[in-house]
Amino acid sequence: MEHDRRRFLQALGVTGATVMAGCADEPAGDAPSLLGRGISPYGERSPFEQAARRLPDTTTLEEASSRTPLQDLDGMITPSSLHFERHHAGVPRIDPAQHELLIHGLVERPLVFTVTELRRLPSISRIYFLECSGNSSSMWRPAPQPSVQAGHGLTSCSNWIGVPLSVLLGEVGVRPEGRWFIAEGADACRMSRSIPIEKAWDDALVAYGQNGEALRPEQGYPIRLLLPGWEGNTSVKWLRRIKVVDQPVMARDETSKYTDLMPDGRARQFTFLMEPKSLITRPSAGRMLTAPGFHEISGIAWSGSGIIARVEVSVDGGATWTDATLQEPVLPKAHTRFTLPWRWDGSERVIASRCTDGTGHVQPTREALVAARGLNSNYHCHAIQAWRITADGRVVDAVA
């Protein structure tokens, strides 16, 4: 029996002396210890994992943003630490014990809620994506991107926890003439957006939690507005005030930006909805296929209109399309992971995905989108993204 044990340990490359050293209070001589590190008060990832948000080469507080490493993620949930950022005046430091939410305007009973009081109210937990309206804007030009993160990383998906805004509006009593509300943040620029009141009664959330813990400061700590399926700037962070009004306020942030200039010179305003979109994240630009053979094509799809009904993948530049598998859970207004088994023959290929949502809306080609909206906008690009795989296995943006 002891002989068999020695043979087993030798096959593992472990000597008896090493095992004994690892079990002792102090390692004997220079023998390595098998004991790991101890517990810690807050978890950290392995040093072998290097996924990080992409920061811009140059930035200002007004234009600050970071991008989620979509190519490194699995499943549908984005870790809070990798959720993209976008803010207009830096991240404020807010003491939740001092923070309050005022709801007033065309209401019967104006009220002020502390964070503690909000946490006492009935809560819900929902998984929703959040996407900046400027995500994928490089495709309008078009400009080749070095990675899916660089071109499309202004989208993330989290489990959000908070109080339905409808509960709070029920407490204050909205008057019949109250058809809109304006949400205002506590950041230095007082970020503000006018929102139709119907969204409040539908699925708007005053969130204080993300992925099981408190919001991160860059995500609006201690509370933020969350408008599922709508452009990210409407989900006002560091929420401090909601005023019920009878019409849009035409605030700075909804007139100086976040409008879509059309070919005839007119601008579309209040284009809240984020349309159906999909991306192949593996393989994608910046990656390498080391050899021909089996590879799994994987990506994400989402739509502000609700559920993703179908994702198709092409490996021949759009000549033919094959249905991908949608991984469960498939939830409305959330990232949906799709996969397709594929055997690469080593030849140059162009791969792409397109999705269809529950309303029947199909993700368009860039050419179709430009034909409808022109090239003057910087927002709401949901065109099909294609990646080129060269014969030596390099993956690049297909427009390169």
DSSP string, 333-389: TS-EEEEEEEEE-SS-EEEEEEEEETT-PBPPPHHHHHHHH-S---S---PPPEEEE
Of all residues in the chain, what percent carry a pLDDT higher than 70?
92
The pLDDT of residue 57 is 76
Domain boundaries, the chain: 70-268, 277-397
* Cross-strand pairs, 127: 159
Which CATH number is associated with domain 70-268? Answer: 3.90.420.10
Note the pLDDT tens digit of each residue in 7-59: 444 544 444 444 333 334 444 455 567 898 898 999 999 999 999 999 887 77
Model pLDDT, residue 31: 58
For the stretch 70-125, pLDDT in tens is 999 999 999 999 999 999 999 999 999 999 999 999 999 999 999 999 999 999 99
Query: Whole-model pTM above 0.85?
Result: yes
Task: Give the DSSP per-residue string, 64-97.
Answer: -EEB--GGG--SSPPPGGGS-EE-SS------TT
Least Cα distance to 132 among 107, 159, 151 occurs for 151
Distances (CA, A) of 126 to 171, 205, 326, 334: 22, 9, 19, 9
Statement: residue 62 has pLDDT above 80: no
pLDDT tens across 345-368, in order? 999 999 999 999 999 999 999 999
Instruction: Please tell me if the domain spanning 70-268 has the same topology as the one spanning 277-397.
Output: no
Residues 6+ apart with CB under 8 A from 242: 101, 102, 103, 104, 105, 165, 168, 181, 182, 183, 184, 225
The counts of H helices and E strands in the chain are 7, 23
Token pair in block for residue 378:
């910087």
Q: Domain 277-397 falls in which CATH fold?
A: Immunoglobulin-like (2.60.40)
